[in-house]
Structure 1
Amino acid sequence: MRFVFVLLALVFAVSASAVEEKYDFTNDEQAALFTELTKELRCPKCQNQNIADSDAVVAKDLRDKVELLVKEGQSKDQVIDYMIDRYGYFVHYQPPVTPATILLWILPGLIVLGGFAFIILRQKKAAQKASWSERDEQQLQKLITRYKRKESA
């Protein structure tokens, strides 16, 4: 009976232990660069998760490729450029400024300003329509006079 419990405990202990990837580098600079890059590159499959934290297969492949490129002596910018060329701007958390990205930042502000301008112009137009003119005053006096005549008759 003890043997079964020990066997079950060993099975659960082995299955519960997580597999941690170990990357070996020739110096600390390469290890630091690898860590920085894996935290800065986004997993193409995961929703807003970097490749350092992702368990996806593609993230593992990206980590392995980053390791290879760092060991080859490529710089941070070269590795990022390689990943962008292969996976697009989505793979990097800090995409470059392009006309499309500028439009994404400016367009909401322009829409808000346009909305305020529309509201102000609409209020001015309504205020002009609601203003009391001399003609309106004359019409009111005519109506009051007619009403008084009908009342006295």
Structure 2
Amino acid sequence: MKRMIALLLGCWVLAAGAVIETYEFSSPELEARYHALSQELRCPKCQNQNIADSNAPIAQDLRKQLYQQLESGATDAEILDYMVARYGEFVRYRPEMGGATLILWLAPVLLLAVGIVVALAVLRSRRDADSRALTEEEQRKLQEMLEREQDA
């Protein structure tokens, strides 16, 4: 009885962790394109996995759609355009540069430039403060304060 439970539990664990879908492709080129595109498309539910690695039901649906579109003769660009139109630019791991994603592509460069400008401004203000000489009035007041401190 214990062996049977262990065997059933082992089979259940193996089945739960596997993403196995077998599609019969009409050519090896289509299969290669399928694998490349499934690596490029992000799972909308998991968000940190591509559809090839995800067990989510929506990833299974996307893999099926991908297979059907490839077999119907769609190009890679047509498939990606369809997926982006349906799920948004987020579905691609490498979104195209342009439109709303332009901000995402340029933000690191802009933040670096702002950081450099701020650092230079802070360094310049410190240098100017250090090199500024005291006026005669400021020197006299400083001397008076030092004398009062010594007398106290």
TM-score > 0.5, shorter chain as reference: yes
What TM-score range do you get, normalising by the shorter chain? 0.7 to 0.9
Q: 1:138 to 1:125 in 2, by over 3 A?
A: closer
Q: How much does 1:77 deviate?
A: 1.6
Q: 1:68 to 1:136 in 2, by over 3 A?
A: same
Corresponding residue number in structure 1 for 2:64? 64
What amino acid does structure 2 have at the position aligned with 1:139?
A: R
**How many residues are matched?**
141
Gaps of 5+ in 1: none
Q: Does 1:107 align with 2:110?
A: yes
- Percent identical pairs in the alignment equals 32
Greater mean alpha carbon deviation, residues 117-126 or residues 10-19: 10-19
TM-score normalized with structure 2 length? 0.76
Q: What RMSD in Å do the two structures reach over aligned CA positions?
A: 3.0
Corresponding residue number in structure 2 for 1:124? 127
What amino acid does structure 2 have at the position aligned with 1:96?
A: E
Q: How much does 1:61 deviate?
A: 0.9
Q: Take 2:138 and 2:2, find their aligned partners in 1: how far apart are those partners?
A: 101
Greater mean alpha carbon deviation, residues 26-35 or residues 5-14: 5-14
Question: 1:9-56: CA deviations, max 9, x gaps?
Answer: 653454344252111101100000000010111111113110000011
Corresponding residue number in structure 2 for 1:22? 22
Q: 1:124 to 1:83 in 2, by over 3 A?
A: same
Q: How much does 1:82 deviate?
A: 1.0
Q: Does 1:11 align with 2:8?
A: yes
Q: How much does 1:8 deviate?
A: 3.8
> Larger radius of gyration, structure 1 or 2?
1
Gaps of 5+ in 2: none
Greater mean alpha carbon deviation, residues 58-67 or residues 90-99: 90-99
